[in-house]
């Protein structure tokens, strides 16, 4: 993982902007996560330099749309004072998704006796506000799955469950969009789970939170479509991280999506929002792909 410090207060905007543009050239085509550590917030609770940073990265061809910070979305609102501000930029490595969360639900699987893991394509990732695009040749509703996401902060291999707690940098929100018809008929999940735009993630990375005590809520056009206890899992994030690390080296920037209990149907023209208490709300419109 590459970490870059951009210090607006010390170097000023012009000098920092020049540094950022140089780095952005090297990151073209990659998905980038921003982590802000700051006490300077706009009245909407947004880091003051975040919109400029995002604009520079996107203009340079960097796939970026997730702004993270250390204090959580509910802290520091209204502080306008010019104070020291800097951000770290994390290049996303891999994306894992939990294959089984709880017994029952949409598919009649046997209750798993161990954590099961599946891969997801990080090319499917998008940020808050970006559209979920239903493929032109898919005529059924898509399915939204609100999920807790653990962001890995240090390298882990053969770690115990207790050690896994120190591996997590923080938490964010994911929407594991799925095409159920393809999921039922295809031999793999290559397009049912991994089509472009099927993995919205964001809007914050919150450190020091306890999301396992939270509630996950999915709304469609403002109406609650799903709601469940975030921590109601057969195996918790630390069980999964420990199990994964036995065979796979986890590295900073990897993200682990923790599965869902309830789903919501979504179609073009709607807006889907996933809220987890203390982590914010991830909102994305749904649109139809233009015929190629």
| Total count of domains within the chain | 2
pLDDT of residue 9: 58
Together in a domain, 156 and 273: yes
If one counts every other C-beta atom within 10 angstroms of the C-beta of residue 22, the result is 11
Measuring CA to CA, which residue among 238, 245, 120 is closest to residue 189?
120
pLDDT of residue 162: 96
Together in a domain, 185 and 216: yes
Together in a domain, 12 and 83: yes
pLDDT of residue 26: 81
Domain harbouring 273, CATH code:
3.90.850.10
Together in a domain, 75 and 125: no
Together in a domain, 122 and 239: yes
Together in a domain, 87 and 99: no
Together in a domain, 36 and 136: no
Together in a domain, 117 and 233: yes
Of 58, 91, 124, which residue sits at a domain end?
91
Sign (positive/negative) of CA torsion 274, 278, 279, 284?
Answer: positive
pLDDT of residue 49: 58
Together in a domain, 199 and 128: yes
pLDDT of residue 75: 32
CA–CA dist 149, 157 (Å, integer): 19
Together in a domain, 84 and 99: no
Together in a domain, 50 and 101: no
Together in a domain, 63 and 100: no
Of 36, 65, 91, which residue sits at a domain end?
91
Strands 146-152, 255-257: pairing is antiparallel
Predicted TM-score of the model (pTM)? 0.75
* pLDDT averaged per 10 residues in sequence order, the chain, 292 residues: 59 74 80 55 45 72 55 32 39 60 48 81 86 97 95 91 93 93 93 94 85 96 95 90 92 87 95 94 96 78
Of 49, 70, 91, which residue sits at a domain end?
91
Query: What is each CA distance from 235 to 155, 232, 240, 288, in whole angstroms?
Result: 21, 9, 7, 36
What range does the domain containing 277 cover?
95-288
pLDDT of residue 38: 45
Give burial (CB, 10 Å; 0-12/13-18/19+) of 236: middle
pLDDT of residue 67: 44
């Amino acid at each position: 993982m590459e970490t870059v410090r951009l210090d607006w207060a010390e170097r000023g905007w012009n000098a920092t902007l020049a540094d950022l543009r140089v780095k952005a050239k090297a990151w073209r085509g990659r998905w980038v996560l921003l982590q802000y550590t700051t006490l300077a917030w706009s009245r909407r609770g947004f880091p003051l330099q975040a919109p400029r940073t995002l604009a520079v990265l996107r203009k340079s061809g960097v796939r970026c749309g997730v702004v993270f910070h250390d204090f959580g979305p509910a802290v520091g609102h209204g502080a306008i004072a010019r104070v020291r501000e800097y951000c770290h930029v994390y290049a996303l490595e891999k994306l894992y998704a939990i294959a089984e969360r709880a017994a029952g639900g949409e598919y009649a699987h046997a209750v798993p006796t161990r954590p099961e893991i599946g891969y997801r394509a990080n090319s499917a990732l998008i940020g808050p506000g970006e559209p979920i695009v239903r493929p032109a040749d898919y005529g059924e509703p898509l399915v939204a799955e609100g999920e807790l996401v653990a962001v890995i902060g240090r390298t882990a291999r053969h770690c115990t469950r207790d050690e896994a707690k120190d591996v997590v940098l923080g938490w964010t929100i994911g929407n594991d969009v799925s095409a159920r018809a393809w999921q039922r008929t295809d031999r793999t999940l290559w397009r049912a789970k991994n089509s472009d735009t099927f993995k919205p993630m964001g809007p914050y990375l919150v450190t020091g939170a306890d999301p396992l005590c939270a509630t996950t809520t999915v709304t469609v056009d403002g109406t609650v479509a799903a709601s469940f206890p975030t921590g109601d899992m057969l195996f918790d994030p630390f069980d999964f991280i420990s199990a994964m690390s036995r065979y796979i080296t986890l590295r900073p920037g990897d993200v682990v999506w923790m599965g869902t209990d309830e789903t919501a149907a979504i179609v073009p023209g709607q807006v889907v929002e996933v809220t987890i208490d203390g982590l914010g709300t991830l909102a994305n419109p749904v649109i139809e792909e233009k015929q190629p």
